[in-house]
Amino acid sequence: MTDVPRDPSLLGILRALADHESVDWDSLESHRDEPGFRAIARELHVVNQISTFHRTLQESPDPAAASSLSSLSSSSSGTELERPPIESALGRPPSWGPLTLLEHVGRGSFAEVFRAWDTRLDREVAVKLLRDRETSGLGEGSSVIGEARLLAKVRHPNVVTVHGAERLDGHVGIWTEFIHGHTLAHLVGQQGPFSADEASAIGIDLCRALAAVHQAGLLHRDIKAQNVMREEGGRIVLMDLGAGKGRMSGAMALGGDLTGTPLYLAPEAWQGGEATPRTDIYSLGVLLYHLVTGAYPVSGTTLDEVREAHRARRRTLLRDARADLPHAFVDVVERALAADPSARYESAGAFEAALKQAHSALAIIPVATSARAVAPQRPAANIGLRQGAVWLAAIVALFAGAFLLDVGGARSRWRTPEPPSAAPTQTLPSPIAAAPRPAEPSSPTPLPVTPAGPPPRAPSPSVAEPGAQPTERRIRVPQRWLGRPSRDARYFPYVDEKGDLQIWELTGGRARRAIEKEAGDTLVSPVMSPRGNRVAYALSTAAGGWELRVVNADGTWPNVIVPRQTGYKPVPLDWSRDEQNILCRLDQQDGTADLALVPASGGAPRLLHTFAKWAPSNARLSPNGRFVVYRLRSDSQPPREDLFVVGIDGSPPRLLVAGEAESPYPYDRVPAWTADGNGVLFLRESTKVRESQDAWMLSVVEGVPQGDPFPVLTNLGPPSGMGLTDDGALFYMVLSGSSEAYTASIDLTGDVVRGAPSRISATNIGRHRVPVWSPDGASIVFYTEQPNPVPGFNPIMTLTVRDLATGAERFLTPRRLGLSGYAAEWSADARSVIVKAMDLDSQRSGLFRVDVRTSETTVVVWTNQNPPHFQCSPDGRDLFYVDSRGIVAHDLSGGDERIAVARGARSSVGPFDISPDGRAVAFVGRTGPQGSETVTLEVQTIGGTPRELLRVTSPNDLRFQLWTPDGQDILFTQWTGPVTPSFALWRIAAKGGEPRDTHFAFTGALGIGSLSPDGLRIAYTERELFWELWIKPTWGSVGRGRVGAHGTTTGPNRPAKLATNHTPSLSGVS
């Protein structure tokens, strides 16, 4: 490098660079002809280009008033700089066309950003004005304008609204809504890495934003923390919608399509590949990685190093960067970061669904690690890059060859510790890892009934000792009915809604089609081979009859094992460990059934036993292939289900375990062998928790039971599909879900796009439902879900009242009430709410009044009606509710009742709503058998004759929601989708007429809570139900210890006759 002379001109250039001021490089070289000066000037020009590139990654210097397009910063360190006057920044008067420039809020490499006032529409906007030299060519300015006009068509609450773009007075500008808030880059810099819970909530909003952008036929191509803002009210807004495409690629000049910021670029972009929606999905994955770590998955000190890291697939796994993150969140982000675009989520909607699943699980998954990874910490003070000495030292260091280009931005160099060195590409480990045996608790965790004060987080059904590996995993599955998996529980077969055979892989959450069914065929009962390479299934052919078939997991080499049979149906149940035989049940037409072994290569079945009345279910082969355990219903009274074992040598069945006669549900279910074949695990109804089940173990030696069964896991809830893996992990299916309550502005005419929705509360995200406005509009009452300590059971509900003026939340604590979670109804004076609940002392259900100030509770009426529909009259005198008679008016002062709407010939009545004047009721009536019922929307003057407004027939459905505040119209919803139920909100005149679409829709089945008294805002719930696969790792040899409540070891309980060398172990499955 050329030595740096003590030249005042060069020092002036250095100061200009330090303050990010413009430098006329052409003029410099033309006015100074000394070779040494020109050489240094050219090198400084390179430094300026690098600095400019870094500044494209920075945020606005004033994060409290950043604009929609201010992803470029005038501060590399994140510190606030002194704002220059508008005139000096642009060298022209503070106006541009119809916009009055109020404040200079940001400066980037190519533009200046201002807070401005639109004098034509009287609104505050953000305007980005490209510098003269960036728009000197007609093509560049026209491209920016054309692109902005396309982006203006994207209307979504999580996407910045583009108001316009024009060339005026020789300058090109884009103006948008002005966002008061901070960029995510600023928040990470100031507060440190986010939690997985917060990051996933942000990711959900951004997926919705991306879906809107992609639906418009556009790509963002520059997703990064600097281009996402969190508004002061909490709204997440995606900014800078690809406006930097041409300029960025030109500035980088690296070949190929490298539009975007390098550390966020997908691998295919570095190879000159075409950008697709999956390219944006990768960038969003990088953003989520950055939010929780402060680092990036792929790093390098130069652009070439980043490119080479992508080529070699060398990156830091998220689990290595932060070991404390929940599995569900890590799995979702890792799939988004897949190097192969086809392995990523196919759409932003699919990414959103995965994040929702992970987000709903975050509140209930306990994570205990042996060495908790600490996220990178931030220094307390920022180092300002405007300090001339620092900048001068950095530039001199560059000249000396020691300057390293951290492509992630100058702020990362100064304020973020370097992430761990990139880990080499790794082969994914087994999806289920064994965990150490948990410590013995001092006492079982009690079931919370009615918490006092803000509800605490409910305990998990599994408790791990300090330093243990994660105690369990929860993974969302594509549907409830999955076939028997491979022995490592990595591959699950299932038949999808189209009737095709799919193979779902646990580690990546992806499914691939193995068989596409032909017209007239029906595939049922798929069973995966132990190694996961083949699937056996039964096929009902279009020609009639049944076949047993086997196909490779990749769909190749389908083979008919049992040719078409018309006399019986072959149902596969299990594979032998060596994959030579398939255990089947042969269902005969006369009602009998045979248990048989069928050679996997084809051949005659080998009959094991014939059942004259009840067919066995859940039969499993022992590891050595010599015994079969199965469940069979008995003829006893009351009936029960017992466990039997039968040998393949022709020996008769032997009773293993008899269902407990004293139990209300004397059924022993889902038997599974341990890996050594010395024990059988099964489910039994819990004697302590109603409708829950416990896992029990029985020692078995050579098909003979040893001693009595003993419990190993309690309070599993109502699981289905239980099994054991080769590593001794227990897995089963549990119904789960998430819900969130929102408020949003609404125009019921449908002429104005609804405003951005706001979450009802910033705490317990994903666990709120049915918000209802108070009559005075000052408060909203809603339910907050707390995880139930018994898995699979409905969450525990608590009532919350939010003051809309102050934002204060008050938790209601009605004593000895089990709240149902159905919508609460305000009294007319807004002093109390009516709730459906169970009195825990008497175990009776009813409607109760809860004082919102004292939580004092009184019963109004006892009723078991579900779902409960009830409402107070506008004058506060009556409580209307539904029972078997119809809609009943209950006098709140005297208790007298009268029938307001008789049920008549209808099968059910409700939901309903009383008109604002209290004189009429609108309701839904249902007639006919379920599945083919007729649904009507009706209006009736109380005590009068009903009048029908609408009628639909199943499978179509409609649901009444609300009266409008003026009493002129009725709001109702129509079902619009079978897979993820969504509902569109419509209105119809109370006097009758054609329905009108309000263009408002929501997802889930809980629906609208209420309208605000002025009718300008709406409160509603979005809900999603899904099935999860729960996996509990092994605790060692459970035969040497009993596992008590919530899966914790409570002490030795080995039967006296149990030989030590035959102690069953959860070290595998059969």
* Higher-confidence position of 63 and 876: 876
pLDDT-derived band at 43 (thresholds 50, 70, 90) equals: low
Contact 836, 818 (CB under 8 A): no
What's residue 930's pLDDT? 75
What's residue 283's pLDDT? 94
Give SS3 for 1030. Answer: strand
Q: Is the pLDDT of residue 133 over 60?
A: no
Structural domain of residue 64, as residue ranges? 56-392
Q: Is the pLDDT of residue 700 over 80?
A: yes
690 phi, psi to nearest 5 deg: -60, 135
Beta-strand runs (E) in 793-931? 796-803, 809-812, 817-819, 825-826, 832-839, 844-851, 857-862, 870-872, 878-883, 886-891, 897-902, 908-914, 920-927
- SS3 of 640-682: CEEEEEEECCCCCCEEEECCCCCCCCCEEEEEEEECCCCEEEE
What's residue 771's pLDDT? 92
CB under 8 Å, gap of 24 or more: what pairs does 20-27 form? 20/51, 20/55, 20/74, 20/76, 20/107, 23/48
Which residue is listed with tokens 């997802």?
1003
DSSP 468: P
| Mean pLDDT to the nearest integer, 1026-1038 | 69
85 lies in some domain: yes
CATH number of 955's domain? 2.120.10.30
* Higher-confidence position of 725 and 331: 331
* Higher-confidence position of 418 and 920: 920
Q: Distance between CA atoms of 404 and 304, rounded to whole angstroms?
A: 12
pLDDT tens readout for residues 142-153: 566 766 776 777
Q: How is residue 293 written in tokens?
A: 């770590």
401 lies in some domain: no
Q: Is the pLDDT of residue 978 over 70?
A: no
Q: Is the pLDDT of residue 10 over 70?
A: no
229 lies in some domain: yes
Max mean pLDDT among 42-56, 424-438, 589-603, 1044-1058 falls in: 589-603
* Higher-confidence position of 813 and 461: 813
903 lies in some domain: yes
CB-side exposure of 890: number of CA atoms within 13 Å? Answer: 21
Nearest to 384 by CA among 692, 76, 608, 100: 76
What's residue 21's pLDDT? 58
Q: Is the pLDDT of residue 1027 over 80?
A: yes
What's residue 11's pLDDT? 59
Average pLDDT over the chain, rounded to an integer: 74
What's residue 220's pLDDT? 87
Which of 45-54, 322-331, 404-413, 582-591 has the lowest average pLDDT? 404-413
pLDDT tens readout for residues 415-443: 222 333 333 333 323 333 333 333 333 33
* Higher-confidence position of 130 and 442: 130
| Mean pLDDT to the nearest integer, 1055-1061 | 29
Q: Is the pLDDT of residue 646 over 50?
A: yes
Nearest to 546 by CA among 560, 559, 556: 560
Q: In what order do the strands lie in the sheet with 796-803?
A: 768-773, 779-786, 796-803, 809-812
What's residue 878's pLDDT? 94
Q: Distance between CA atoms of 336 and 656, rounded to whole angstroms?
A: 48
405 lies in some domain: no
Which of 407-416, 506-515, 1036-1045 has the lowest average pLDDT? 407-416
What's residue 898's pLDDT? 93
What's residue 397's pLDDT? 36
Q: Give me the number of domains the chain comprises.
A: 2
- At which of 392, 425, 440 does a domain end? 392
What's residue 598's pLDDT? 95
Q: Is the pLDDT of residue 1013 over 70?
A: yes
| Mean pLDDT to the nearest integer, 634-654 | 84
603 lies in some domain: no
Amino acid letter at 483?
A: G
What's residue 14's pLDDT? 63
What's residue 639's pLDDT? 73
Q: Distance between CA atoms of 1070 and 1062, rounded to whole angstroms?
A: 16
pLDDT tens readout for residues 177-218: 888 888 999 899 888 899 888 899 899 999 999 998 888 888
- At which of 338, 368, 392 does a domain end? 392
Max mean pLDDT among 130-134, 713-717, 887-891 falls in: 887-891
Output Rg (C-alpha) for the chain, integer angstroms: 33
Angle between helix 138-151 and helix 245-252 axes, rounded to 10 deg: 130
Q: Is the pLDDT of residue 927 over 50?
A: yes
1038 lies in some domain: no
Q: What share of residues in the chain are helix, strand, coil (percent, to 5)?
A: 20, 35, 45
pLDDT-derived band at 580 (thresholds 50, 70, 90) equals: very high
What's residue 347's pLDDT? 93
pLDDT-derived band at 822 (thresholds 50, 70, 90) equals: confident
| Mean pLDDT to the nearest integer, 539-550 | 92
Please count the helices (runs of H) and the strands (runs of E) in the chain: 16, 57
Max mean pLDDT among 161-175, 620-634, 783-797 falls in: 620-634
pTM: 0.50
How much of the chain exceeds pLDDT 70, in percent?
69
Q: Is the pLDDT of residue 256 over 80?
A: no
| Mean pLDDT to the nearest integer, 458-477 | 49
455 lies in some domain: no
CATH number of 214's domain? 1.10.510.10
Which residues have CB under 8 Å from 734's CB, separation 6+?
Answer: 474, 717, 718, 719, 791, 792, 1027, 1028, 1030
Distance of CA 632 to the CA centre of its chain: 39
- At which of 361, 376, 392 does a domain end? 392
What's residue 49's pLDDT? 58
What's residue 15's pLDDT? 58
Which residue is listed with tokens 């507060």?
191
What's residue 572's pLDDT? 96
* Higher-confidence position of 1045 and 852: 852
pLDDT tens readout for residues 288-341: 999 999 999 998 877 888 888 888 888 899 998 998 899 889 999 999 999 989
Give SS3 for 306. Answer: helix
Q: Distance between CA atoms of 837 and 844, rounded to whole angstroms?
A: 9
